[in-house]
C-alpha cells in the first residue's frame, strides 16, 4: 500500500516512491529502498519532510544487516525501479509545474520588454527530455491534468512535451530534440502582446480580431530572435507552427515545399494540444475526437498526412493516462499499451458510472478479459476532477 510518512518515521528497508513535502527542491532519481541511515540523513539535510512509501515492499534485516524478509516476495537483489504509471505521474506533475513557473517568467520578461533568459529554459527542457526517454507516458498523462485558467502557460509547456515525445518516437537525434523542445517551449511567447479579450474570447473572432490574433507569431519571432544563444532550429519551429501545406497558413503563407519536417511536426502537436485542452470558455475534446480532427485537417492539405498518422501511432489509440468507459459501466485509466492488441490496453478501473461513485480499483488486461472499451471519455463528462482521480488511485496503491 502507498502511504505517506514523516521523515522521522523513515527507516532502513522502506521503499520510497516519491517526496511529498520538502523545504527545498530535491528530486529523487528513482524509486527504491533505503539502504542506510546515511541516505536518511541526506534526505533530512535536503529539507525533506514527508515521503510516499510502498509498505508492501518494505525489507527487514538481521543483526548482521542481511535481508531476512521482503513482504512482496521478490528477490531483494533484483530491485525493481519500474513504478506503476500512476506513481510516475506524481513525479511528472512536479516537473510540469516547474516548467510552468519558468514559462511564467518567460512571459513576464517578454511583457516587460526584457531579453529572455535561455538558461532555465534549456535546463527544464533537458529535464523533460530525460524524463521522456525514461517514461514518455508519465508526462503525456500530466498534459491531461490542466487548469482552465492557465491555458496560455500550460499550452506552451504541453506542446514542448508533445514535440519531445513525438521526436523521440521518430528517433530524431537527442541534440536536435533539445533544440526542437526549446523552440516549442517559446513558440507562443508573442501571445503576451495580444489582448486578453481576443485571446480568451468564447465566440468566433471577427476578421479584425483574427488579424490581431495572427500577429502573435510575428511577435514570437521578434522576441525569440532577440534572445541571446537561441538556435536557428528553435526559431524555425516557433515561426512555422501556424503554416499550412496548402500555403494558406500564417504569418507568411509559406508553400508546402518550404515547410520543414520540424515545422510540420509542431503544427500537429500545437493543434492536438489546443483541441484536447480545457479552457475557461470550453472543454477539450477526447483524444479520439482530436485524432479524427487531425486526420480531417490532413485530408484538407493543412497538415502532413504521414506525420499525423505517425503522431497518432506515437500517442496510441487510447493514450496512457487517458480515461475510457468500459462495457461494465466502469470508468478506467489506461495504464499501459498492449502492442499486439492496441485497441485493448491494460487499464485500472476506479469508478462506477451507473451509480456515480468510486469503487475499489481493479487492474484489467482487456486483451484477456470479457470487458471492453465503449469509448474514450474525459473526467468532465462525469463531473469528475482528474487531480482527484489521480489522488484516489494513489491511495488505492
Which string of DSSP letters, residue by residue, matches 216-284?
HHHHHHHHHHTSTT--HHHHHHHHTTT--TTS--TTT---GGGS-HHHHHHHHHHHHHHHHS-BTTBPP
Q: How far apart are CA 360 and CA 332, in angstroms?
A: 11
**pTM for the model:** 0.76
pLDDT by 10s per residue, the chain, length 397: 567 789 998 988 888 877 888 888 777 766 778 888 888 988 998 899 988 887 777 877 655 565 544 444 343 333 344 456 666 777 788 899 999 999 999 999 999 999 999 999 999 999 999 999 887 887 887 887 777 778 888 999 999 999 999 999 999 999 999 999 999 999 999 999 999 999 989 899 999 999 999 999 999 999 999 999 999 999 999 999 999 999 999 999 999 999 999 999 999 999 999 999 888 778 888 888 999 999 999 999 999 999 999 999 998 888 888 899 999 999 999 988 887 788 899 999 999 999 999 999 999 999 999 999 999 888 888 999 888 888 888 777 6
Q: What count of residues does the chain have?
A: 397
Nearest to 238 by CA among 275, 195, 267, 214: 267
SS3 180: helix
Q: Are strands 373-377 and 346-352 parallel, antiparallel or unpaired?
A: unpaired
Provide the 8-state DSSP code for 344.
Answer: S
Nearest to 268 by CA among 248, 245, 252, 247: 245
Which domains are present in the chain?
A: 2-83 (no CATH), 86-315 (1.10.3210.10), 323-396 (no CATH)
Q: How far is CA 17 from CA 92, 123, 378, in A?
A: 13, 24, 27
Provide the 8-state DSSP code for 285.
Answer: P
Cell of 279: 479552457
DSSP letters along 82-140, please?
Answer: ---HHHHHHHHHHHHHHHHHHHHHHHHHHHTTPPP-HHHHHHHHHHHHHHHHHHHHHHH
| pLDDT value, residue 125 | 96
Amino acid at each position: 500500500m502507498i502511504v505517506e510518512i514523516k521523515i522521522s518515521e523513515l527507516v532502513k528497508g522502506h521503499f520510497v516512491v516519491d517526496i511529498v513535502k520538502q523545504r527545498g527542491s530535491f528530486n529523487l532519481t528513482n524509486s527504491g529502498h533505503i539502504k542506510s541511515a546515511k541516505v536518511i540523513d541526506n534526505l533530512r539535510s535536503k529539507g525533506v519532510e514527508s515521503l510516499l512509501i510502498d509498505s508492501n515492499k518494505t525489507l527487514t534485516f538481521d543483526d548482521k544487516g542481511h535481508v531476512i524478509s521482503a513482504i512482496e516476495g521478490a528477490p531483494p537483489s533484483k530491485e525493481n525501479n519500474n513504478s506503476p504509471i500512476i506513481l510516475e505521474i506524481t513525479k511528472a506533475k512536479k516537473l510540469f509545474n516547474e516548467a510552468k513557473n519558468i514559462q511564467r517568467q518567460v512571459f513576464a520578461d517578454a511583457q516587460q520588454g526584457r531579453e529572455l533568459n535561455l538558461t532555465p529554459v534549456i535546463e527544464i527542457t533537458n529535464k523533460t527530455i530525460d524524463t521522456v526517454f525514461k517514461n514518455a507516458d508519465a508526462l503525456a498523462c500530466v498534459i491531461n491534468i490542466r487548469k482552465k485558467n492557465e491555458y496560455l502557460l500550460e499550452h506552451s509547456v504541453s506542446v514542448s512535451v508533445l514535440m519531445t515525445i513525438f521526436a523521440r518516437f521518430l528517433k530524431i537525434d537527442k541534440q536536435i530534440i533539445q533544440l526542437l523542445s526549446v523552440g516549442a517551449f517559446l513558440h507562443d511567447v508573442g501571445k503576451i502582446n495580444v489582448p486578453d479579450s481576443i485571446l480568451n474570447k468564447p465566440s468566433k473572432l471577427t476578421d479584425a480580431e483574427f488579424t490581431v490574433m495572427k500577429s502573435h507569431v510575428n511577435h514570437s519571432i521578434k522576441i525569440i530572435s532577440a534572445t541571446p544563444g537561441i538556435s536557428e532550429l528553435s526559431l524555425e519551429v516557433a515561426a512555422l507552427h501556424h503554416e499550412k501545406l496548402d500555403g494558406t497558413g500564417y504569418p507568411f503563407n509559406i508553400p508546402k515545399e518550404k515547410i520543414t519536417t520540424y515545422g510540420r511536426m509542431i503544427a500537429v502537436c500545437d493543434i492536438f494540444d489546443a483541441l484536447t485542452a480545457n479552457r475557461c470558455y470550453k472543454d477539450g475534446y477526447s483524444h479520439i475526437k482530436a485524432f479524427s480532427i487531425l486526420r480531417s485537417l490532413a485530408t484538407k492539405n493543412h497538415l502532413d498526412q504521414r506525420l499525423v498518422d505517425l503522431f497518432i501511432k506515437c500517442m496510441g489509440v487510447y493514450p496512457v493516462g487517458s480515461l475510457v468507459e468500459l462495457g461494465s459501466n466502469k470508468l478506467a485509466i489506461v495504464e499501459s499499451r498492449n502492442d499486439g492488441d492496441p485497441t485493448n490496453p491494460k487499464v485500472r478501473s476506479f469508478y462506477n458510472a451507473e451509480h456515480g461513485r468510486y469503487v475499489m480499483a481493479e487492474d484489467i488486461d482487456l486483451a484477456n478479459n470479457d470487458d471492453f472499451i465503449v469509448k474514450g471519455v474525459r473526467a468532465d463528462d462525469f463531473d469528475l476532477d482528474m487531480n482527484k482521480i489521480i489522488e484516489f488511485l494513489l491511495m488505492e496503491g
